[in-house]
């Protein structure tokens, strides 16, 4: 559902809603998972004690997606065009794909309902092309002599800028405290403490370990699935080009800057609570700044 409005002959704004509902999605869980507890062996607490894990594939999963989408577009005019697209969306499910080994309690699958693994709440992408207004036939210095026009005229700036909020973090305990032998246990969330560290002097410290605690032996933790979001990303790809024209040839020189401001794309923090590096970011995604040059001749 959407609404479009043309502001000028060259500019249009669009606002819309996008929604979807998924039912009977495929997922897996262990129907022979041991009951949590500290008495007896793991095998003695399974419903069918003569068997180990029994993975059931069933069409019982669900998902929902809601999003506000906005778009502002200026068609090329006066040496300028741009397209700005923004999405404020939320994807929720009880298992992103056929993901065995995520649910800690096979008898309470509703507790797995949470943010989708790929959920990104905010995303803004802006692309643009701008012919710099200098040189012959342009707004400024339109009568400059040919030698000066050769240097200052014909420049073009273009690029794509992307800003996106972080993906969910799946916090796990990292030890079999429930004594179910599944290694899917989650910690408890400590009330009143913020799990995300704000204003840390170290960009690699992201989660507050004291905001979580170990559950009692033989019990499950209450930390929700995918409740906390990791670091966001921002990337700026910029191209600066220079056009030369002769009677027979058109020549374009391009300098292209990928990740122009060399912003690091921080990976997800270590999410296993018993790991000594819990909450720290130990990897980056994407690549550092890259610069390449190109020359194009048309005839």
Domain ranges of the chain: 2-298
Q: What is the pTM of this model?
A: 0.85
Q: How confident is the model at residue 287 (pLDDT cuts 50, 70, 90)?
A: confident
Q: Which residues contact 50 (CB under 8 A, 6 or more apart)?
A: none
**Tens of pLDDT, residues 127-186:** 999 988 877 666 666 676 667 666 677 889 999 999 999 999 999 999 999 999 888 899
Q: 141-147, long-range: CB within 8 Å, 24+ apart, which pairs?
A: none
What is the structure's pLDDT at 259? Answer: 95
Q: How confident is the model at residue 99 (pLDDT cuts 50, 70, 90)?
A: low
**DSSP secondary structure string for all residues of 23-67:** EEEEEEEETTPPPP-SSS-TGGGSSSTT----EEEEEEEEEEEEE
Q: Could you tell me which residue, 296 or 67, shows the higher pLDDT?
A: 67
**Tens of pLDDT, residues 18-55:** 999 999 998 888 999 999 999 999 999 999 999 999 98
**Tens of pLDDT, residues 229-271:** 999 999 999 999 998 877 788 888 999 999 999 998 899 999 9
CA gap 134, 140 in Å, rounded: 5
54 contacts 47 by C-beta, under 8 angstroms: no
Instruction: State the average pLDDT for the chain.
Output: 90
**Mean pLDDT (whole number) for 74-94:** 94
Q: Could you tell me which residue, 198 or 217, shows the higher pLDDT?
A: 217
Residue whose tokens read 């809603």: 17
């Amino acid at each position: 559902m959407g609404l479009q409005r043309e502001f000028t002959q060259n500019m249009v704004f669009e606002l819309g809603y996008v929604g979807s509902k998924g039912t009977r999605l495929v997922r897996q869980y262990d129907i022979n998972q041991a009951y949590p507890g500290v008495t007896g062996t793991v095998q003695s607490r399974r419903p069918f004690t003569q068997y180990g894990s029994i993975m059931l594939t069933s069409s019982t999963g669900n998902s929902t997606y809601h999003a506000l989408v906005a778009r502002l577009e200026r068609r090329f005019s006066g040496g300028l065009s741009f397209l700005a697209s923004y999405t404020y969306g939320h994807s929720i499910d009880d298992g992103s794909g056929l993901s065995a080994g995520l649910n800690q309690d096979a008898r309470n699958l509703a507790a797995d309902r949470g943010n989708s693994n790929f959920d990104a709440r905010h995303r803004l992408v802006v692309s643009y092309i701008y012919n710099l207004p200098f040189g012959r036939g342009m707004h400024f210095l339109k009568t400059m002599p040919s030698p000066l026009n050769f240097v200052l005229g014909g420049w073009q700036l273009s690029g794509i800028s992307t800003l996106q909020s972080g993906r969910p973090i799946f916090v796990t305990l990292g030890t079999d405290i429930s004594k179910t032998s599944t290694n899917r246990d989650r910690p408890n969330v400590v009330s009143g403490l913020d799990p995300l560290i704000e204003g840390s002097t170290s960009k690699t410290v992201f989660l507050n370990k004291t905001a979580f605690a170990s559950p009692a032996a033989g019990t499950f933790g209450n930390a929700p699935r995918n409740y906390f979001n990791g670091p966001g990303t921002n990337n700026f790809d910029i191209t600066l080009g220079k056009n030369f024209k002769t009677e027979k040839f058109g020549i374009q020189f391009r300098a292209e800057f990928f990740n122009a401001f060399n912003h690091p794309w921080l990976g997800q923090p270590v999410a296993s609570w018993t790991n000594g590096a819990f909450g720290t970011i130990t990897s980056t995604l994407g690549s550092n700044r890259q610069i390449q040059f190109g020359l194009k001749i048309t005839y």
